Amino acid sequence: MKKLFFLITVALVLWGCSSREVVDLVVINAKVYTVNPEFDIAEAFAVKDGRFLFVGATEEIRRKFKAKETIDAEGKPVYPGFYDAHAHFPGLAKFLAQADLSGSGSFEEAVDRLKAWEQKNPDKSWIIGGGWDQNLWPGKQFPSKDLLDKAFPNKAVFLSRIDNHAAVANSKALELNNITNIRKIDGGLIGGKNNIPDGLLVDNAMGLINIPQPSEEEYLELLQTAQDSLFSVGLTSLVDAGVSVNALELLKKFYENGQLKIRDYAMVSASPETVDDYIGRGFYESDRLDIRSFKIMGDGALGSRGACLLERYADAPTKGFLLHSPDGLDKMIEKISNSPFQANTHAIGDSANRILLDLYGKHLTNNTDRRWRIEHAQIVSPEDFPKFRQFSIIPSIQPTHATSDMYWAKDRIGAERMKGAYAYKHLLNEYGKVAIGSDFPVERFNPLYGFHAAVARVNANGFPEGGFQMQDALTREEALRGMTIWAAYSCFQEHRRGAIENGKDADFIILEDDIMTAPAENLRTIRTLRTVVGGETVFLRK
Ligand SMILES: [Zn+2]
């Protein structure tokens, strides 16, 4: 009898085993934020062929599946991979090869950093740096070439501002590019006096300087290093907000060779030529790289007073400027509207936002699901907010811009216009979704900085107490949706990523602490333990 019982048991176990479906991976004992429409929390899931196959309870997963790999999350929280809805991947790669001037407390300190960088890189023919912000310096004056000429009389120097909307070059760099006097530049500015350039170049004037580019191998290595940094903070997807034709073609090559793994929704940098060119080519869509949209530059940035305002700046006799003429913008947008491509336009100032919203509205007459985006939507006039709803325009926002600019934004635009500035909740209430990004390398790439800034609206030190313009804070659920499923939606990808649901790409992360419940002051320092893209672990904290 005992023997019979034993045999039956063995048979049942064998039958149980054989009926279990073989999968590549299961994650069990987790707190899984699925970010599905109900915002359900699950315990486990199974992954097969790079996709989520089944989401449920640990026991259920164990009973149903036989896994090649099992990850016991030991109660840790799991989220869909973070999606940066506005970033600059090639920009970050190049930033890694430059002298890092971010956070420098004065121009003198920046020059000291350049000297140290030059000692470490003696064979470089140019000194290229980035990340300075004159708003952090005593006097808040823009830098000029004088200090650079003194320190580097024989080497060309080019230093871009943190927002990439201004730069300072030394005399050697100006000479090499034949910039010997001040001339008028559409959508830009050469700084100086009495027809003598002082080295400051704003927006379109920056393009006058040709800086040496890395070789193809160097470039790939820089991109891979950047990618590893992004994986280490839980990013699995990003929107590349404006990529040049050269960089795009290289990205295509690297992705086709399987040399890059992060998912990239790359917007083509729009000019009259590239709009014709890429519409002619049609969509490029693959597992990891999509090219089916344009990034148009509306205006400049607030920090360098290039943002285009309806009324003059509060602290300077200018209204800023557009980077294309309204007619030029109209023509590009009309062409895009007649194609299946998506239009995404950088608009910071209230004038730029109005012009772009109206142009979008003019051309989006009979199609409601074009998902055109306004990048930044930073200062919006009260009467223009409803246009996001009316024309179905997605606000693409970067919450760390609020906490980086809050020290001086009011100086630029005054108290009245501040009411419609960094107004993320207002924008969310209009459209019903926001796509959240970091704008790295303008800001740090860690998405939890953006999450923290969105929900608490304070800097890393908890300043200001109680938060900056808290009426525009987002809830944690809204912020998490903004950096997962809504970001995917803004790229027409909500059916394939952005949530832990059956059939979607198995992109997920395990964090050491729960961002939905942790005290706000801890949010920036919560570390990513594991990052998985398409079922493959691409980062594991040791
Ligand atoms: Zn950007």
Cα 341 to averaged position of ligand 1 atoms, centre (Å): 19
Residue 282: CATH number of its domain: 3.20.20.140
Main-chain phi, psi angles of 175, to 5 degrees: -60, -50
The pLDDT score that the predictor gives to residue 365 is 83
Contact criterion met (CB below 8 Å) for 468 and 430: no
- Model confidence pLDDT, tens digit, residues 197-251: 999 999 999 999 999 988 999 999 999 999 999 999 999 999 999 999 999 999 9
Confirm whether 279 is domain-assigned: yes
In a domain, 528, yes or no: no
How far does residue 293's CA lie from ligand 1's centre (Å)? 15
| Residue 439 Cα to ligand 1 middle (Å) | 5
* 318 and 460 within one domain: yes
Based on the domain organization, do 153 and 290 belong to the same domain?
Answer: no
Do 255 and 163 fall into the same domain? no
299 and 167 in one domain?
Answer: no
Is 14 a domain residue? Answer: no
**How far, in Å, from the CA of 163 to the mean position of ligand 1?**
8
- Shared domain for 300 and 378, answered yes or no, is yes
- CA gap 450, 444 in Å, rounded: 9
Q: Quote the ligand 1 centre to 88 CA distance (angstroms).
A: 6
447: its two tokens: 């998405």
What pLDDT was estimated at residue 165? 87
Contact 512, 526 (CB under 8 A): yes
Going from the Cα of 265 to the center of ligand 1, the distance in angstroms, rounded, reads 14
Residue 225, burial from CB neighbour count under 10 angstroms (0-12, 13-18, 19+): middle
φ, ψ of residue 327 in degrees (nearest 5): -65, -40
Are residues 159 and 289 both part of a single domain?
no
446 in any annotated domain: yes
- 190 and 296 in a single domain? The answer is no
Q: Which two tokens stand for residue 126?
A: 């140019």
Evaluate whether 395 touches 347 at the Cβ level (below 8 Å). Answer: no
Kindly state whether residues 241 and 380 are assigned to the same domain: yes
Tens-place pLDDT, residues 359-404: 999 999 876 689 999 999 999 999 999 999 999 999 999 999 999 9
Residues of the chain falling short of pLDDT 50: none
| 5 C-beta neighbours (distance < 10 Å), count | 9
Distance between Cα 438 and ligand 1 center (Å): 8
Same domain for 164 and 248?
Answer: no
Q: 332: CA distance to ligand 1 center in Å? A: 19
* Domain assignment of residue 537, yes or no: no
Question: What is the reported pLDDT for 389?
Answer: 95
| Distance separating alpha carbons of residues 294 and 268, to the nearest angstrom | 5
CA of 294 to the centre of ligand 1 (A): 13
The span from the CA of 484 to the CA of 503, in Å, is 16
- What is the whole-number distance in angstroms between the Cα of residue 4 and the centre of ligand 1? 71
Residue from 210, 213, 89 nearest 158 by CA: 210
Angle between helices 326-337 and 350-363 in degrees, nearest 10 = 40
Copy the structure tokens of residue 257: 């060779």
Radius of gyration of the chain (CA): 25
Exposure of 528 in the CB half-sphere (CA atoms within 13 A): 25
- Rounded Cα–Cα distance for residues 211 and 168 (Å): 13
Q: What pLDDT, on the 0 to 100 scale, is given for residue 19?
A: 82
| DSSP letter string, 405-421 | HTTTHHHHHHHHHHTTB
Residues 239, 131 share a domain: no
Q: Judge whether 192 lies within some domain.
A: yes
Residue 476 identity (one-letter amino acid): R
Q: Which residues contact 93 (CB under 8 A, 6 or more apart)?
A: 219, 222, 223, 225, 226
Note whether residue 41 is domain-resident. no
C-alpha of residue 440 to centroid of ligand 1, in Å = 7
In the chain, the number of structural domains is 2
70 domain-assigned: no
Query: What does pTM read for this prediction?
Result: 0.89
Give 297 Cα–ligand 1 centroid separation in angstroms.
10
Q: What is the pLDDT of residue 304?
A: 87
- List the beta strands (DSSP E) in 49-179: 51-56, 65-72, 77-80, 82-87, 99-100, 126-132, 156-161, 166-169
What residue numbers bound the domain in which 136 lies?
Answer: 98-208
Indicate which CATH number applies to the domain containing 135: 3.10.310.70
Residues with CB under 5 A from ligand 1 (ion): 241, 439
73 CB-side CA count, 13 A: 29
Which residues on neighbouring strands pair with residue 235, listed in sequence order? 82
Domain limit, last residue, from 173, 208, 243: 208
Same domain, 262 and 143: no
> CA–CA separation, 19 vs 257, rounded Å?
38
Q: How many angstroms separate the alpha carbon of residue 412 from the centre of ligand 1?
A: 20
Distance CA 436, CA 453 (A): 11
**248 & 196 share domain:** no
C-alpha 447/C-alpha 230 separation (Å) is 9
The tokens describing 386, both together, are 């409803």
